Amino acid sequence: MECQLSVELLLKRALSIPSVRVLSRPLLPPMSHTIEISLAVSDLVGLEHLDRVCCVLWQNDTENEKHWRHLGTSKPAVVFTRSVEFEDKISYKYVFEKAQLIKIDM
């Protein structure tokens, strides 16, 4: 009860001072960080006839499945077994607390 009264008194006092203006806070830009994505595929099936494969990375930051933006393409990797590791990394700007979809084509 005592805390509530003091808050009400502070509010009344702040509202009674005509020269004081309360401004809204500016919106902060979204926090982001550039990360590097390494690609590796295991249990590769159906591509036994290929000597080399590459990955294409796509990004979508909207909810529309038709608007994919090309992020990068890996260098072709030689297929020796059913597992492939790609040497190069693809840079990606990750935005915190925002839904971002990624898809990979081979």
What's the average model confidence in pLDDT over 24-43?
A: 82
3 belongs to a structural domain? no
13 belongs to a structural domain? no
Give the separation between CA 82 and CA 66, rounded to whole angstroms.
31
9 belongs to a structural domain? no
| pLDDT tens column, 9-20 | 444 555 555 666
Write the CA distances from 18 to 9, 11, 12, 75, 104, integer angstroms.
Answer: 16, 13, 12, 66, 60
48 belongs to a structural domain? yes
| pLDDT bucket at 45, cuts 50 / 70 / 90 | confident
Q: Kindly report the pTM of this predicted structure.
A: 0.62
Name 96's Cβ contacts closer than 8 Å, sequence gap at least 6: 30, 31, 32, 33
Q: Considering its fold, how many domains does the chain have in total?
A: 1
Beta strands in 1-106 (DSSP E): 32-41, 52-53, 56-60, 69-73, 77-78, 84-95, 101-105
| Structural domain harbouring 82 | 31-105
Look up residue 49 and give its DSSP letter. T
61 belongs to a structural domain? yes
45 belongs to a structural domain? yes
Give the separation between CA 78 and CA 70, rounded to whole angstroms.
23
21 belongs to a structural domain? no
53 belongs to a structural domain? yes
> Alpha helices of 1-106 — where are they, by DSSP H?
2-16
pLDDT at 16: 53
